[in-house]
Structure 1
C-alpha cells in the first residue's frame, strides 16, 4: 500500500517546525512508525529490536552521547531524533528530558502504552515541552470505505486494509489479537490471574459500546468491582479502548444514566477479541455500526484539535440517544441506524431530546441514505460517509 496522508500529520509537522518535541501514542499497527518517518529526521532508533533495546537498557546515557555528537555537527538548528516504541525502555525518557531541557535536540517519540510511560519515567508532558498526539486506525476521510459491511467486520487498521484477500485479513486479525492483546496487554497488566483478565478481555469486547455493568462483569468473572475498573484502565492506558461519558445535565429528568461506555479502538480487533465470526446477525451489525460512528466522531474531533466532547444520553425508564456532540454546552444529538429507508419511529428519541435541550438546534439520523434529507423540521438524515462534517 502506498503511503496515505494521515490527518494528524499536518499538526505534528507544525509542532516540529515550532521547535517542539512530539509524543505520538497509538495502539500497535496504527501507522505511528510510518508517519514518524515522513519527517526529516537526523537519527532514528527503534526499541522494537531486542539487541537495540538491550544496548540502551544497559546504558541509557549512550543516547546522550550520540545526540550531543550529532548536535555538534549540525549548525543553525536542533537535530530531530525519532525514538520508536519508547515505552519499552521508559528509563530512556529521563535522558530525553535532559536533552530537551538543554535544547540539544527535538524528538518524535512513539509508543503504544501510556501506562508504561507513567510507571517508568518522570518525563514532563506539560504543554510547551512535549506535545502529545494520538494515532488511530484509518478514519473515513483518510481511507474512505467502499463497502460498509466489510469495514465493520474487518476494521480499519492500515496493515489489515492493505490485505486484499478477506481470509488473509481474518488470519492477520487473529494474529494481532493473540500476539498483541493476549501477550503484550496481559503481560503488562500485572494481574495475579491471567485467566481472569483473558475472560475480561473477551467480555469487554462483547460489551463494547454498551453501558458498563460492573456487577454483571464481576459476577461472571469472579473478581471485585475494583478489579474490573482496573482492567478497563489497562485497556485505556494501552489505547485499546476509549471511555465515553454520558450527558447527565437535565432540568426535567432525574434518572439519567451516569455510567460510562467503552469502545474498542477497532471493530475488527473487537470482533476477534470477542471470538465472533464474520457472519453476524443484523442486530449485532447495527450495534457495531453505532460503535463505528462513535469512533469516527471521537477521531474527527481529536484530529481537528477541538475541545468538543462526544457523549451519549440515556434515561433507563425512557428515551436514549446514541451520541451527543457537546461543543461547550451546545448539543447536537445523533441516532445511528443501519437502514437505507429511515422512518419516523427512528427519530422519535431525537425529537424528545431536541424538545428538552434548548441549545440543541438540529438532530441527525446517521444511516445509509445516499444523500442528506430532511426527516422533520429539526431532524436530518445524513449519509454515514459524511459523519466528519459534524465535529
Structure 2
C-alpha cells in the first residue's frame, strides 16, 4: 500500500471550517481531494459520493430528501453531478447558521461555479488542490509556504538543510528530477512505483472522458477531443495559438477554445496571462499554456522514459511546466490566490514568470542550465517600465547550490522547491 502523506492544505481546511458553513474543494480527479478531507474530518462527519448513481439520482430528483437522508456534518463527493443541491444547502445553512456543515468536492470547476455563485455566495470557501507538490513528496507539507523570491533565500535554504537532515537536497540529480517530472504528481502514481505509468494514464483519460467530458460537457466527438488534449500537451510552455491548434485537430477555433476551457475547468491545464497594466487588454492577449501534471503531459506527448524526455525536444518546456506548477501549488495549497503573468514584448524580450504581490512584480526565469549567468536575468530590468516596483528576482535552474547572480537576483536550484522553509515570503 502506498503511504499517506500530509498535505499543505490541511491546516487551511481546518481553519476555514471554523468560519464558513460550506467548503468546496476543487481539483482534477485523482489528486486526493476526498482522501484529504477524510483525513481532516471528525468521526461524526458522514461521506456520500455522487459517483454512486442511486445517491446521484436522489440528489438530482429530490435535494431536500437527500439532505434529510444524509444530514450534516456531511462530505459530498463529486457534487458537480447534482447542482440542484446548492439551493437546498443554502436553505439549510441559512436556518442553522453553523460553520462546517458541508464539505463538497468537485472535479469540473467551471461547471460548478455558476451554481455556487448564485446559491452559496458569502457562505462557501473555495479551495483548489492539485497533485502532490515537491514539498509534500519530501515530507515537508507543514513547512511549505508561498513561493516568493527573497534576498535572504540562500541563508534560509542553508540553515534549514543544516537543521533538518531529512531534507531532500536542493541538488536533485538530473535524471531523478526528470523521473519525478515524467512520473507526475498524482498521489497514487507518485507514491507507488509498482503502478504501471502507461496503464494509469490510459485509464485516467478513459475515465475522465466518460465521466466529465461526455456526462457534463456534452462533447460528442470524443476522438477529436482526445486529439486536442494530445495536441495541447506538446504545446506546454508555449504561447497558445488557437488557429494552429484547431487546424492540427481538424476542428474550428471556437470549438478548440471551448474544449480548452473544459480542460482548464477540470484543472488539467493552466493558461498564464501576459502582463499588461490594463486588465482588459490582459484578457484579450495571447496566454501561455501549461499542463498542471507533467506526468500526464509526458504521457500524452508519448515520451516513454524519463531519459528520452530529458534528452528530447520538450526537455526545457517540461521543466518550465514543472516549475510553474510548483509555484501555483505553493499558493493554492496554502489556500491563497496568486496573480501570475509572463512578459513578452515586440522586440522578443521576455520574462518567464512574474508574481504580482503588494503592488510589486517579482521576476523569475526558468532555465535548463547548471551555470546560469547574469545574462539569464537581463530582461528583469524591464519590470521598472511596467508600472510596478520590482521585487527580488530568481533564476530557477539546475545549479547544485543557491548563489547570488547580483544584488537583486538569486540562482535557485529547482530541487530547492521541495526543501523546508525555502519557498516563502512567510505568513
Decide which moves more: 42-51 or 111-120: 111-120
> Closer, same or farther in 2 for the Cα pair 1:188/1:272, shift >3 Å?
farther
CA contact (8 A) 2:64 2:88 kept: yes
> Closer, same or farther in 2 for the Cα pair 1:182/1:382, shift >3 Å?
farther
> Closer, same or farther in 2 for the Cα pair 1:267/1:181, shift >3 Å?
farther
Unaligned runs of 5+ in 1: 71-78
Q: CA deviation at 1:300?
A: 1.5
In the alignment, is residue 3 of structure 1 matched against residue 4 of structure 2?
yes
Distance 2:256 2:402 in 1: 42
> Closer, same or farther in 2 for the Cα pair 1:193/1:10, shift >3 Å?
same
Aligned residue runs from structure 1 range 72-87, under 5 A: 79-87=72-80
Aligned to 1:98: 91
Aligned residue runs from structure 1 range 44-55, under 5 A: 44-55=47-58
Q: CA deviation at 1:101?
A: 1.9
Question: SS of the counterpart of 1:102?
Answer: helix
CA contact (8 A) 1:91 1:121 kept: no
Out of 264, 275, 280, which is 2:302 matched to? 275
Aligned to 1:34: 35
CA contact (8 A) 1:163 1:169 kept: no
**C-alpha offsets along residues 344-383 of structure 1, whole Å, 9 cap, x if unaligned?**
4433333x43564561143211012232201233321012
Aligned residue runs from structure 1 range 278-293, under 5 A: 278=305, 279-280=308-309, 281-293=311-323
Aligned to 2:129: 135
Which aligned runs of 4 or more in structure 1 are off by greater than 6 angstroms? 119-122
**C-alpha offsets along residues 17-51 of structure 1, whole Å, 9 cap, x if unaligned?**
23521011111111111111121143211122234
> Closer, same or farther in 2 for the Cα pair 1:359/1:52, shift >3 Å?
same
Out of 193, 196, 205, which is 2:233 matched to? 205
Decide which moves more: 51-60 or 379-388: 51-60
Distance 2:302 2:35 in 1: 30
CA contact (8 A) 1:177 1:272 kept: no
> Closer, same or farther in 2 for the Cα pair 1:45/1:306, shift >3 Å?
closer
In the alignment, is residue 339 of structure 1 matched against residue 380 of structure 2?
no
**C-alpha offsets along residues 70-89 of structure 1, whole Å, 9 cap, x if unaligned?**
5xxxxxxxx41111111122
Unaligned runs of 5+ in 2: 139-167
Aligned to 2:330: 300
Aligned to 1:73: none
**C-alpha offsets along residues 273-325 of structure 1, whole Å, 9 cap, x if unaligned?**
33333222344122111011111112212234445311111124321111111
After TM superposition, the score normalised by the length of structure 2 is: 0.79
Question: SS of the counterpart of 2:412?
Answer: strand
Distance 1:190 1:66 in 2: 30
CA contact (8 A) 1:333 1:353 kept: no
CA contact (8 A) 1:33 1:110 kept: yes
CA contact (8 A) 2:363 2:391 kept: no
After TM superposition, the score normalised by the length of structure 1 is: 0.86
Out of 102, 126, 150, which is 1:107 matched to? 102
Q: CA deviation at 1:334?
A: 0.8
Out of 111, 119, 123, which is 1:116 matched to? 111
Distance 1:221 1:284 in 2: 20
**C-alpha offsets along residues 250-282 of structure 1, whole Å, 9 cap, x if unaligned?**
9xxx9xx93112222211112223333322234
Aligned to 1:24: 25
Distance 2:353 2:239 in 1: 13
Aligned to 2:189: 160
CA contact (8 A) 2:21 2:97 kept: no
Distance 1:372 1:380 in 2: 7
Decide which moves more: 209-218 or 56-65: 56-65
Question: SS of the counterpart of 1:109?
Answer: strand
Query: What is the count of residue pairs matched by the alignment?
Result: 373
In the alignment, is residue 382 of structure 1 matched against residue 376 of structure 2?
no
CA contact (8 A) 2:234 2:314 kept: no
Q: CA deviation at 1:224?
A: 2.9
